[in-house]
Chains A and B, each alone.
Chain A
Amino acid sequence: MQVTLNINGQAVSRDVEPRTLLVHFIRDTPGLTGTHWGCDTSNCGACVVQMDGQPVKSCTTLAVMCEGHEIRTVESLEVDGKLDPIQMGFHEMHALHCGFCTPGMLMTTRALLDETAARGRAGGAGGDAIPSEEEIRTAISGAICRCTGYKNIVGAVRWAAQYEAANRQGQEVS
Chain B
Amino acid sequence: MQTPAPFTYERATSVDGAIASLVKHDGEARIIAGGHSLLPMMKLRLAQPEHLIDINDLGELSYIREFADEIRIGALTRHVELLHSDVLARRLPIFADAERVIADPVVRNRGTIGGSLCQADAAEDLSSVCSAIHASVVIRGADGERVIAMDEFHVGPYVTAVGDGEMLTEVRVPLTPGGSFSSAHEKVERRAGDWAIAAASAAVWIDGGTIADAGVALSAVGPTTVHVTRAAEALRGKSPGDELFEEAGRIAAEDCSPSADGRGPVDYKRHLAGVLTTRALRTATARALQQEA
Contacts and interface: CB of A to CB of B under 8 A. Distances in A.
Interface residues of B, number: 32
Given A54-B109, A60-B36, A142-B104, 9 more contacts: A41-B40, A41-B44, A42-B40, A42-B107, A59-B1, A60-B40, A60-B107, A61-B35, A62-B39
Interface stretch (B3-11, B219-227, B246-254, B268-276): B3-11
Contacts of B8: 18
Contact of B1 (A18, A40, A142): A40
Contacts of B68: none
A143 to B, nearest CB: 7
Contacts of B105: 55, 138-139, 141-142
Contacts of A65: 32, 35, 54, 56
Interface in A43-86: 43, 45, 48, 54-57, 59-62, 64-65, 68
Given A19-B5, A59-B1, A43 B36 contact: no
Given A54-B109, A141-B192, A19 B104 contact: no
Contact of B9 (A18, A23, A139, A141): A18
Q: Among B2, B54, B109, B193, which residue has the most Cβ atoms of chain A within 10 A?
A: B109
A48 B2 contact: no
Contacts of B122: none
Interface residues of A, number: 31
Interface string A136-174: 001101110000000000000000000000000000000
A56 B40 contact: no
Nearest to B103: A142
B43 interface: yes
